[in-house]
Structure 1
């Protein structure tokens, strides 16, 4: 690429001078108005081209040129989280909070939240960890917020036997209740997706 020094724009009047970028393509004297990345590893470093040359450059440039299929898949998967580390909800150890400033005490109660879906979760009187939708789904199963996952499973089994359409002669109201029960069960067990069944 040629040396790209800024030069004053000849079309300005009233004594104003503006530096313009010349096209980075060799032997081109047009203005470089369009930027193109120099490398995948240097995202803030650009070439500046005129319109025809940026089209040529973009047509021939392959972001994944030196990567194999596994590396490409890994890059694309990591790009979904902007290449930042992630972990499954509920699996990050509480010690991972070390070094984070918490001047307002926002993370003080996280230790109590972590045990929410264990089989023998301790009751937490006066402080619900469930949202309004969770509470509605628990009510459909005939349970309250003190229910463990074992309680949810037991209530589901009993209610399914009682409201199954085959048992109720395909009664429409029983079928609707059955669907609500199934949805409530799936809602509550999906909250436990990070734990073992």
Structure 2
């Protein structure tokens, strides 16, 4: 009885050798007749093209493979820099869009300027955004408007009222919250103080 037989490979846990027929392309290494079971890239200038090697020769090929062969040092450094971002275009923070991006405006004209409609990134860049002095002036205008709105709310008025309405409302509230009219109530005195401060502020801004 022959123990060196393919029949025993079926019942062995680990066959002594692989007796399955070899299929597929042959190894492209010169002088090698083994099966080309592994792929190896042909080079940087031949994208998606591969050699077919056996396991031993693909190992030899990979040890000596140089992707940057023939490239100058400056090109290698540029390639490595672009690899940090996946070779995708980048631009300075604050521009909102790529400098070459073209946006379609409501008036039917293409606008290549940076887009930041809510001015979220204005402080990080310049482009078409206002400078620091303009940004500070705009912030001051917002502060003034908020203070005016708060002062008018203290008097129970809405923005856009006339000077006469402000003065009449002030006289009415003073009479209502004067200590003499409320028996010296401390809460009324605090309210009267807020009314006086609000009226004086509106007066300083020229609204009344």
TM-score range, shorter chain: 0.3 to 0.5
Relative CO higher for 1 or 2, CA cutoff 8 Å, sep ≥ 6? 1
TM-score (norm 2): 0.40
Bigger radius of gyration, 1 or 2? Answer: 2
